[in-house]
């Protein structure tokens, strides 16, 4: 096989310098706009490492394995071809085990790093040991998941000399031990230099995010407060001269919150400390995943017939349908909800409607559960039930527990939930959210869809309400 010398873009060279064996950096975030060559670079780095360090193991991870296969893995195959690697000759890919094996004994394990409620500690990683890792689109992954992956970087670190990169340490002589008797320095059996072995390396890629990456990398980098084991490289589309003009133009046409992130690489796009929901967490809800459970209906009823009536159909914690009725009469709303309950076989005890305004009439006719926004909360630190439910929803969204399978409403839902903010504490210092009439006056629209989604938390706060008898 003829050695391939890849051509790196300037920002990629900067990233590579942090990942070289003579750098003390253990974790690099390559973050910024779309099209900056982040995923491409990650694949190039991984291939070079596996060829350089024979018999080693690494991990490529993403929030969902299915997405990894459709995106990152395709980039990997394209990059491998550029390196002159031939499938089934120089490497093999097993779609059942999700392992890429190289001719020199090295391998890459592909992993799903989503924060499933059933696997909070990523036990699926088992006793996996790796030399390094690449987490693509890491904004979709929790900090805990990345920390657990990094803790697995202990595979053959002391087999290789960080000077000559050969397996010289295991052939050499130990020259220093720590207080516990652990070997911490060797004389390489190949180049005769002193070495402590390889440093764990992790490469993270993402678009601008207001989550933990923003706080731990972006902000600290700007303040020159990044710890020595971490580094940050900003990526922009302009860094990649190979991007088609049409691609750049498509980014310019995106909604503002996407355009600022993906075109401008703006990490400050939603700098609002009063927001309950981060944009990145909200965007994560729109994925092709059904979190099953009981079926429910939550409905925000139009006030005095002026606003929209929004009916959300839930399968567990997944929204499977959203129905909108404009200026609908009370009987029309009642009949529609009855029809939906029959279609989805939903009991009236699992239906909750906003009981304020004309919603009280809907509750009376259906004999379903009523949601009174200003009613007493379950926990005393909240001003009312509505505030408690919104804070609970924010928690669930952050924990990746909510999914939405409804097409065509992404921008609307994100916009409405972004309008929900922490409101000034009342005289007793209790937590509350901005009242609906204040939002309507300020934003010009009513967050009706957001309220309908929020009401799903009513059933999470009341998990054991017993048998509901319909008269």
- Write the CATH number for 38: 3.40.50.300
Q: CA 453: distance to chain centroid? A: 20
Whether 340 and 440 map to the same domain: the answer is yes
CB of 377 closer than 8 Å to CB of 394 = no
Whether 327 and 451 map to the same domain: the answer is yes
Domain assignment present for residue 5? The answer is: no
> How confident is the model over 131-166, as pLDDT tens digits?
999 999 898 888 889 999 999 999 998 888 888 878
Q: Is the dihedral of CA 183, 189, 194, 200 positive or negative?
A: negative
Q: How far apart are CA 188 and CA 198, in angstroms?
A: 12
Whether 204 and 343 map to the same domain: the answer is no
Domain assignment present for residue 188? The answer is: no
Residue 159: closest CA among 173, 171, 151, 176: 171
Residue 409 has pLDDT above 70, yes or no: yes
The helix (run of H) or strand (run of E) holding residue 109 is strand 107-112
Order across the sheet with 351-354: list the strands: 369-371, 351-354, 295-300, 308-315, 318-326, 403-404
CB of 79 closer than 8 Å to CB of 43 = yes
Please tell me the predicted confidence (pLDDT) of residue 424. 57
CB of 163 closer than 8 Å to CB of 237 = no
Order across the sheet with 132-135: list the strands: 91-94, 99-102, 107-112, 57-62, 132-135, 201-206, 27-32, 230-235
Whether 293 and 416 map to the same domain: the answer is yes
Residue 130 has pLDDT above 90, yes or no: yes
Q: How far apart are CA 321 and CA 325, in angstroms?
A: 13
- Write the CATH number for 397: 3.30.420.240
pTM over 0.75: no
Query: What residue spans of 71-127 are helical by DSSP H?
Result: 72-82
The phi, psi pair for 196, rounded to 5°, reads -105, 10
Domain assignment present for residue 174? The answer is: no
Whether 429 and 287 map to the same domain: the answer is yes
| 305 vs 177, higher pLDDT | 177
Domain assignment present for residue 470? The answer is: no
Domain assignment present for residue 264? The answer is: no
Please tell me the predicted confidence (pLDDT) of residue 426. 46
Q: How many CB atoms lie within 10 A of CB 11?
A: 21
Domain assignment present for residue 252? The answer is: no
Please tell me the predicted confidence (pLDDT) of residue 126. 77
Whether 16 and 114 map to the same domain: the answer is yes
CB of 322 closer than 8 Å to CB of 297 = no
Burial classification of residue 44, based on how many CB atoms lie within 10 Å of its CB (0-12 exposed, 13-18 middle, 19 or more buried): buried
Whether 291 and 234 map to the same domain: the answer is no
Whether 414 and 313 map to the same domain: the answer is yes
Domain assignment present for residue 284? The answer is: yes
Tell me the DSSP string of 296-355: EEEEEPPGGGTSEEEEEEEETTEEEEEEEEES--HHHHHHHHHHHHHHHT--GGGEEEE-
Residue 316: closest CA among 296, 330, 332: 296
Task: Count structural domains, the chain.
Answer: 2
CB of 255 closer than 8 Å to CB of 200 = no
Residue 25 has pLDDT above 80, yes or no: yes
Q: How far apart are CA 315 and CA 469, in angstroms?
A: 22
DSSP annotation of 469 reads P
Domain assignment present for residue 29? The answer is: yes
Q: What's the mean pLDDT in 57-71?
A: 92
Please tell me the predicted confidence (pLDDT) of residue 431. 83
Q: Is 440 helix (H, G, I), strand (E, B) or coil?
A: helix
Q: What's the mean pLDDT in 46-69?
A: 93
Whether 39 and 127 map to the same domain: the answer is yes
Q: How confident is the model at residue 445 (pLDDT cuts 50, 70, 90)?
A: confident
Q: Is 94 helix (H, G, I), strand (E, B) or coil?
A: strand
Residue 2 has pLDDT above 80, yes or no: no
Token representation of residue 325? 């009725």
CB of 304 closer than 8 Å to CB of 359 = no
The phi, psi pair for 30, rounded to 5°, reads -105, 95
Looking at 239, 266, 288, the residue that finishes a domain is 239
Whether 338 and 203 map to the same domain: the answer is no
Whether 303 and 224 map to the same domain: the answer is no
Looking at 174, 208, 239, the residue that finishes a domain is 239
Q: How confident is the model at residue 389 (pLDDT cuts 50, 70, 90)?
A: very high
Token representation of residue 102? 């190289």
* Domain assignment of residue 102, given as a range: 10-157+198-239
Residue 115: closest CA among 191, 64, 66, 177: 64
Q: How far apart are CA 450 and CA 394, in angstroms?
A: 11
DSSP annotation of 356 reads S
Q: What percent of the chain has pLDDT over 90?
A: 50
Whether 235 and 301 map to the same domain: the answer is no
Q: CA 100: distance to chain centroid? A: 24
Token representation of residue 151? 């803790």
> How confident is the model over 299-348, as pLDDT tens digits?
999 865 456 899 999 999 999 999 999 888 889 999 999 999 999 999 99
The helix (run of H) or strand (run of E) holding residue 133 is strand 132-135
């Amino acid at each position: 096989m003829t050695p391939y010398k890849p051509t790196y873009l300037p920002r990629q060279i900067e990233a590579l310098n942090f990942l070289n064996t003579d750098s003390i950096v253990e974790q690099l975030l390559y973050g910024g706009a779309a099209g900056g060559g982040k995923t491409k670079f990650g694949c190039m780095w991984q291939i070079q490492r596996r060829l350089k360090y024979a018999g080693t193991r690494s991990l490529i991870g993403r929030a969902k394995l299915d997405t990894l296969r459709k995106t990152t893995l395709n980039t990997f195959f394209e990059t491998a071809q550029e390196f002159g690697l031939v499938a089934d000759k120089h490497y093999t890919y097993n779609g059942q085990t999700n392992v890429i094996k190289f001719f020199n004994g090295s391998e890459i394990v592909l992993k799903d790093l989503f924060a499933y409620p059933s696997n909070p500690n990523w036990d699926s990683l088992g006793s996996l040991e790796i030399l390094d890792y690449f987490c693509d689109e890491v904004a979709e992954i929790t900090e805990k998941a990345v920390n657990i992956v990094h803790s697995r970087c202990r595979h053959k670190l002391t087999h290789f000399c960080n000077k000559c990169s050969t397996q010289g340490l295991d052939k050499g002589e130990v020259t220093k031990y720590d207080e516990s008797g652990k070997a911490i320095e060797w004389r390489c059996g190949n180049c005769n230099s002193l070495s402590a072995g390889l440093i764990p390396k992790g490469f993270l890629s993402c678009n601008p995010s207001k989550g933990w990456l923003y706080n731990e990398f972006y902000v600290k980098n700007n303040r020159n407060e990044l710890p020595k084991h971490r580094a940050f490289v900003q990526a922009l589309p302009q860094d990649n001269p190979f991007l088609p003009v049409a691609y750049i133009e498509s980014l310019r046409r995106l909604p503002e919150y996407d355009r600022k992130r993906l075109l401008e690489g703006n990490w400050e796009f939603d700098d609002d400390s009063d927001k309950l929901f981060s944009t990145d967490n909200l965007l994560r809800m729109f994925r092709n995943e059904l979190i099953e459970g009981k079926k429910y209906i939550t409905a925000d009823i139009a006030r005095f017939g002026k606003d929209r009536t929004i009916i959300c159909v839930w399968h567990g914690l997944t929204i499977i349908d959203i129905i909108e009725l404009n200026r609908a009469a009370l009987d029309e709303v009642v009949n529609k909800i009855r029809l939906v309950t029959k279609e989805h076989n939903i009991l009236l005890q699992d239906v909750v409607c906003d009981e304020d305004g004309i919603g009280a009439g809907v509750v009376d006719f259906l004999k379903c559960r009523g949601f009174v926004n200003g009613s007493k909360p379950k926990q005393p630190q909240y001003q009312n039930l509505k505030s408690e439910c919104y804070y609970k929803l924010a928690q669930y969204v952050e924990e990746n527990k909510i999914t939405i399978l409804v097409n065509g409403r992404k921008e609307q839902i994100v916009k409405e939930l972004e309008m929900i903010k922490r409101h000034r504490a009342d005289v007793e210092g209790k937590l509350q959210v901005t009242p609906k009439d204040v939002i309507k006056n300020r934003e010009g629209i009513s967050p009706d869809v957001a309220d309908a989604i929020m009401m799903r938390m009513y059933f999470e706060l009341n998990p054991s309400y017993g048998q509901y008898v319909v008269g």
